[in-house]
Amino acid sequence: MYSLASALAPLHVKTLDDWLAHLEGLHPKGQAGIELGLERIARVKAALGQVPYCPIITVGGTNGKGSTCAYLENILRRTGYRVGCYTSPHLLAYNERVRVNGEPVSDTALCEAFARVEQARLEVGVALTYFEFGTLAAWEVFAAANVEALVLEVGLGGRLDAVNVYDPDVAVVTTIDLDHTDWLGPDREHIGYEKAGIFRSGKPAFCADPAPPASLLKHAAEIGADLRLIGRDFGFERPGAEVAESRLQWRWWCRSGERVVKRALAYPGLRGATQLFNAAVALAALEALGERLPVTMQAIRTGLIETELPGRFQVVPGKPAIILDVGHNPQAVRVLADNLSGMGFFDRTHAVVGMLADKDIAASLKPLEGKIDMWHLASLGGPRGTSAEALARVIADAALGGTVACHDSPALAMQAARSAAGESDRIITFGSFYTVAGALQALRSGH
């Protein structure tokens, strides 16, 4: 059957897998190729005629981006809006990156969008990275679906990330910590400046980090962004232990003009204390868009409670307890360690870990010192992967404790962990999206 995708694609490109392979082939480093800058993508965007047609919320930050996007998407969708949400990376299927009304879009929709981007790219005569190509295609999918609100997650940094080619009506920075230092700079000040690059003059700009770097504050002031900070302009309160509702409710607040809006809410469906920061900034962003995208209290309540996101301290039902977490930098693993401390007693803790070489592996594993009985280390392939043996050396050098076993893949590491764990043990899987994806595949296959 004739389609735009088949008419415009190279002869060997027919399926979504073909297209993804073609995208990887456009950059010498494939999917892992990172080449920051907006000039290339802006030229193709113009050739495609992409212009804003609905409110846009852009979400950046070191950690918490995915959770914040999920809250925004779920609340808007439950209010009745047709919502497009673009996130990355994916766990099991590329389609997860591009969702309409909470559902991954079809292979056909993506192939049609890729074909349009490829035609425009060839007309302009530029090369695009994997992420740039996918970002343009996501917009094409959303435009074809006539979405009424867009939630866009920054891929890396902010200022020079492909997503920043689109001007947001509201920008959110969740947290600022050390990650991707090769591209964003060696400290929080450099990274904060890059994150603040998604802010726009005169537009609401939110930061949910309780101690934002001076660079972020300075940049927001210099461009005239309407900066709103957690603890000053919005935030949350948890009732003390003496209050009967302390385990059932939290209170969100936000300044709105001369008044302060307050709402008592049930705790979010995503686990961990850090989720209150993510939920609070999501609600504040929606409050700022209240005139254009009003949301209902019912949508807020059910949207927060029923938000689910694979790989964010996801507890798999059954015994032994299995926790999946995509945390891959020091800040994220500190949160993971805190969440583990609140889980109750387990006889032993097994860790399935695989990490990429461009991460600060030693600092990321440090929060789990003395807390792991058995490390099941997994080699990750590709140009950025780290071998299990390299991870083992880090654990030994840092004297993190526990016994160590090396495996060729996350799936094999998960299989070994399940074989070694008793019913009263727990298995935590973390370190990379690739690690969690491999573990999920092993779990789903029954091994």
Which pLDDT does position 28 carry in this prediction? 58
4-305: what fold? UDP-N-acetylmuramoyl-L-alanine:D-glutamate ligase (3.40.1190)
Average pLDDT score over the chain: 92
The letter for the amino acid at 293 is: L
Residue ranges per domain, the chain?
4-305, 314-445
Low-confidence ranges of the chain (pLDDT < 70): 1-12, 28-33, 240-247, 446-447
Q: Which pTM value belongs to this model?
A: 0.91
Which pLDDT does position 37 carry in this prediction? 83
- Contact between 74 and 307 (Cβ < 8 Å): yes
How many other C-beta atoms lie within 10 A of the C-beta of residue 398? 14
Per-residue model confidence as pLDDT tens digits over 380-394: 988 789 999 999 999
The letter for the amino acid at 261 is: V
The DSSP output letter for 290 is: T
Which pLDDT does position 5 carry in this prediction? 42
Which pLDDT does position 399 carry in this prediction? 96
- CA atoms of 432 and 67, how far apart (whole Å): 16
Strand partners, 375: 351, 404
Per-residue model confidence as pLDDT tens digits over 61-93: 999 999 999 999 999 999 999 999 999 999 999
Superfamily of domain 314-445: Mur ligase, C-terminal domain (3.90.190.20)
- CA atoms of 247 and 249, how far apart (whole Å): 6
Which pLDDT does position 362 carry in this prediction? 95
Per-residue model confidence as pLDDT tens digits over 284-339: 999 999 999 999 999 999 999 999 999 999 999 899 999 999 999 999 999 999 99
Q: What is the length of the chain?
A: 447
What are the φ and ψ backbone dihedral angles of 388, each rounded to 5 degrees?
-60, -35
Query: Is it true that 4-305 and 314-445 share their CATH fold?
Result: no
Which pLDDT does position 33 carry in this prediction? 60
- Pairing mode of beta strands 321-324, 314-316: antiparallel
